[in-house]
Structure 1
Amino acid sequence: MGGQQITMHVEELIEQAKHVRNSIDTMNYWYEKKPRGNASPTIAAAQAALSHSVAITRLIWPNPPSRDRDGNKLTGEPLDRHRWIIDRGKMMRRIVGPVDEQTWILGNRRLRNAYEHFDEYLDNFLFDIDRGKRPNVIVDTGVLPRGAIRIDGEIPTYLRLLDPELWELSLIDEKVSLPQLVKEVLTVDERAREWLRLERLKPPE
């Protein structure tokens, strides 16, 4: 992988970090304007921040398929492409590191899956309700403290909830602290910008 190629990936990371910041600003705007009356745009902006954070996650921890559509192991150029992507991910982690996939929200694959495969999470959730494994107490969207509403004495499960006391975004059972997520995004953004600055100081080859 050449320097220009990795530079483009670093620039894309910086661009996605900018979108995260803009999305958080938009979320705050709608929340301050009218908290409960504007639940939908507030949640939408929070989810946009999560979406751009997931894009950063893909840049740092790519997960290309190791088999083709027929389930066969990759060979030839597809295998070369797979290895190239894995190597690119390692280079990105060296640039923005140290990062911990186990403790960082950006490294939380369950959260990434919950966002990218929300339909599957919703299917599993509703299936469990249908089979009596979970209470049928559901609220679609809310911007309020988690325990603010009780239905038949139960705190409902929210498909989407933004708790403004904790600034915690929930997608069914998966929760993310937005302040911690933004802190991580700003950290990798700062490291990426510093790498880019030093890279541009190098004399042309």
Structure 2
Amino acid sequence: MKKIAIACLFLVSTFANAQPLVAVIETERGVMKAELNDRAAPSTVANFVNLALRGFYDGLSFHRVERNFMAQGGDPRADGTGGPGYQFAGELLLKHNRQGVLSMANSGPGTDGSQFFITHLATPHLDGKHSVFGRVTEGLPVVLQIRRRDKIQSITIQGDPSELFRRRERQLAEWNAVLDQQFPSLRAAFSPQ
């Protein structure tokens, strides 16, 4: 029993000390950093990180911005109808309980793709409908300054997604096959170390 308790403590301390993945979102208005929650939303974070590493978001715009609500981007068509060419089911564990929540836009269950939004304030009416997968930890004022058609210059990822990508290997392979076909100019897919 003592060995099991020690093993559990080791695992808890290992996960507690693991560095979170952080998205650095560079826009025309400034830079935001968002901590990503791959424990509560592993598929959503794997998707977002994969798209960011491949350069999918670079140069796209925030096509929908509503004051006192949110800023939405990640649509290659810039009209709210575009995506990466695939869809997946949301992970609805976390809440839209503050300013700076990073969440996936969708058109109903099973339609998450590439579009995401960042809240200006708590939006509890979105709970259970959209996948929260992170929160802005630096640059909150930038969220409020974003205007419609402002560009996402780049989204880079701090931290190593290798373990997450290993756990989502089959899903990522399916997504990357679609991306390679529909967006051939994207950077090559990330290979876990």
Same fold per TM (> 0.5)?
A: no
Q: Which has the larger radius of gyration?
A: 1
Name which structure has the greater RCO, CA cutoff 8 Å, separation 6+: 2
- Bigger fraction of residues in helix: 1
Q: Which category of TM-score, normalised to the shorter sequence, fits these structures?
A: under 0.3
